[in-house]
Amino acid sequence: MTAREKQILELIRNNPLVSQKELAEQLNIARSSVAVHITNLIKKGKIKGKGYVLDEEDYVVVIGGANMDITGFSDNLLVPNDSNPGRIRMSSGGVGRNIAANLAKLGIQTKLISAVGDDLFGRRIIEDSSLAGIDTAYIKTVSAHPSSIYLSIINATGEMDVAVSDMKITDSLDTEWLKKHHQLISGAAAVVMETNLPQSSIRYLANTHGAKLFLDTVSTTKTKKVKDIIGSFHTIKPNRIEAEYLTDFKIQNQTDVEKAVRFFLDKGTTNVFISLGKEGVAYGTADKTGFFKMKTERMVNTTGAGDAFMAVLVYGYLNDIDIHEAVKLASTASYLTLTSEDTSNPEISLQQILKTKEKLNL
């Protein structure tokens, strides 16, 4: 163990309920640094869990879909209307579930409100989520619908060529179900929501928890559900096409991007992040705006990169990380996800993100 790890371990022995914030204050170091040391101590077997290192209010609730992802990877350029040689992989996914998994790997207490079917896929999703560190107590099992399935084909360059999603089960995450968990949601330090939810549920959450609500817009079609309430969210993360739909103008150059960021801020959103794919990300708050682009050397699967980005944004919010630094950390997490066949890289961690960020000189 390092000298710092020994210090932290001794403080935890003296007070097993000590929070990361309190540890950071006692040692006069950043809370994010404490999280890295805690992760190392867990890996070394010196600590047998993570829950005690967070204040009771410092948990995150994620509300959204949990899927079984079936992904086909083509060995060569895809040939339409033909059988393409390649390989097929199955893993637990879904926007909400992926965000929750990434948050848990960052050492954040994460509770997932979702729904699965009473079937083999549903049981595996719950098992995989629990193993990832997610609190699965709030995932309900529904017998009326099968578990969500996301079927995608990835081309030889790592880009998603086509996909089909069957997510009818998310309709069961209605306002009545959410109201049953009102106390849980109200007590969260942050709430993450995605647009696979019914529109009535989205409006309910925006009206009751908007001040700490992080929105993942998911797709252009589903973004329609939030167009007239976009200012009701603390943080939003649309891509270029979704942002064009929400703003009603084309984003073709840097000026347009800056105009779009300002549009969302003027609507009342606190933090705005617009993903521009390979061109980077534009972002802004009331007093800070910026643009960041990083080189991606190798892409295996682009699906899930945005989910990792969102998880780190939430981490940055909880740890008072400057928005410029948060974007670099989030982009690094996306990069690590792009290199994995799974939509949530099982190897991702705060330590790995920080190492990779340093390696890339970001």
- The answer to whether residues 5 and 12 touch, using CB atoms and an 8 Å cutoff, is no
The predicted model gives 89-96 an average pLDDT of: 93
What pLDDT, on a 0 to 100 scale, did the predictor assign at position 296?
A: 66
Q: Where in the chain is the domain with CATH 3.40.1190.20?
A: 57-65+95-143+168-359
51-64 b/e (C-beta count within 10 Å ≥ 16 → b)? eebbeeebbbbbbb
Cα 220 to Cα 55, 129, 207, 223, 243: the distances in Å are 37, 27, 22, 5, 9
Residue 51 — pLDDT band, cuts 50, 70, 90? very low
Distances (CA, A) of 22 to 12, 18, 30, 314, 356: 11, 6, 11, 20, 27
CA pair distance 109, 59, nearest whole angstrom:
5
Task: Tell me the average pLDDT of the chain.
Answer: 89
Render pLDDT for 227-275 as a digit per residue (tens, 0 to 9).
999 999 999 999 999 999 999 999 999 999 999 999 999 999 999 999 9
Report pLDDT digits (tens) over 273-302: 999 988 999 999 999 999 999 876 666 656
For CATH 1.10.10.10, list the domain ranges present in the chain: 1-55
Residue 50: pLDDT band with limits 50, 70, 90: very low
Question: What is the per-residue pLDDT across 67-83, written as a single tens digit (0 to 9) for each?
Answer: 999 999 888 889 989 99
CATH of domain 57-65+95-143+168-359: 3.40.1190.20
Residue whose pair of structure tokens reads 């993903």 in the numeric block: 275
Closest CA to 64 of 307, 299, 227, 257: 307
pLDDT at 259: 97
Classify domain 1-55 at the CATH topology level: Arc Repressor Mutant, subunit A (1.10.10)
| Close Cβ partners of 272 (under 8 Å, ≥ 6 residues apart) | 235, 236, 261, 264, 265, 283, 284, 285
pLDDT given for residue 48 in this prediction:
63
Strand order in the sheet with 235-236: 139-142, 109-117, 59-63, 190-194, 213-216, 235-236, 271-275, 281-284, 289-292
